[in-house]
Homo-oligomer: A and B are copies of this chain.
Amino acid sequence: MKEVLLSIIGAGPAGLAAGLYGGRAGLKPLLIEKLSPGGQVLVTDWVENYPGFPDGLSGYDLIEKFASHARLFGMEELSGEIEEIQPVDGGFELSLSGGEPVFSRKVIVATGAGPNKLGVPGEEELTGKGVSYCATCDGPFFRDQTVAVVGGGDSAVQEAVFLTKFASKVYLIHRRDSLRAIKILQDKAFSNPKIEMVWNTVVESIKGKDGVESVELFNRSEGRRWELKVDGVFIFVGIRPNTGFLKGLVDLDENGFIVTDDWMRTSRPGIYAAGDCRSKPLRQIVTAAAEGATAAYAVEHDLAMQE
């Protein structure tokens, strides 16, 4: 069985920053990732608020920089999906789907979060056939077509603006009468002639045969129900953490995010958490990176205390 001092699960900004700091501290961390490095950043078209890059850069480019930075300090990588973390004497045994298990003294969980679903009829059946949770991935398929964006936060508004690069018309459907998004994004949306706001309205179902043809809408303040013809539906109604495999192992908050102290220690000694999967106020690249750095520092500190 492969034995390491530190495993890091997940290769978004939090996991890669933990790899950088853990590597620089001489821990030879092992980064375990399902696919390739990236996380949610890869579905971000353009990053304009990671401090130090005033010109902005693509999510892909930023992750490449993070990954090569961490590799420079000796981070190793393993491809695989964690099935279970089993506490054993002196550390943890990580079971991987389709791979040898790994013994690790300490574990940093940086598995991030994924999109919430609306949970309406047609959503699951038409996912990948016009229903999408990633404008960067699927926006280009809707050139000169009509799409609906569902949500009212930063992501929904930012992606609605982004989609106007391709679509001829974007309906921004929001269940309230005002947006939650920051002002700069609201201003961009309101001044964009391709975006039409649909206030106080929820999606009741998504209809179509081989692809999306329409959405059934319900205006909650007027009690009105109607059908809107669209070619695509982009859903941005929050995120849920990828923490299912941790149930019973560490304390989670009411939404399933991992609770930690200031050192990123979870309720179980030896397991740390960083990034979007953590219970915290602000989910940004820079906060994920800082938490990854802090978690690696805590691991280094806690290992030294045990020696």
Could you tell me which A residues sit within 8 Å of B by CB distance? 13, 16-17, 20-21, 24-26, 48-54, 62, 65-66, 68-70, 72-73, 182-184, 187, 262-263, 280-282, 284, 286-287, 289-294, 297-298, 300-301
Contact = CB atoms under 8 A, between A and B. Distances in A.
6 contacts: A25-B182, A51-B69, A51-B289, A52-B53, A52-B62, A54-B72
A170 B182 CA distance: 53
Contacts of A284: 290, 293
Nearest to A26: B183
Given A17-B286, A281-B298, A297-B281, A66 B49 contact: no
A260 B204 CA distance: 43
A54 B49 contact: no
Contacts of A73: 184
B280 A286 contact: no
A301 to B, nearest CB: 8
B65 A53 contact: yes
Contacts of A13: 51
A48 B51 CA distance: 16
Given A182-B300, A286-B17, A280 B293 contact: no
Given A66-B52, A69-B51, A69-B54, A26 B184 contact: yes
Contacts of A263: 281
Given A51-B20, A52-B65, A26 B182 contact: yes
Given A20-B49, A287-B290, A184 B69 contact: no
Contact of A291 (B24, B72, B290): B290
Given A25-B184, A286-B290, 10 more contacts: A17-B51, A20-B49, A51-B70, A51-B289, A52-B52, A52-B62, A52-B289, A281-B294, A286-B289, A287-B294
A194 to B, nearest CB: 22
Contacts of A72: 54
A64 B40 CA distance: 28
Nearest to A17: B51
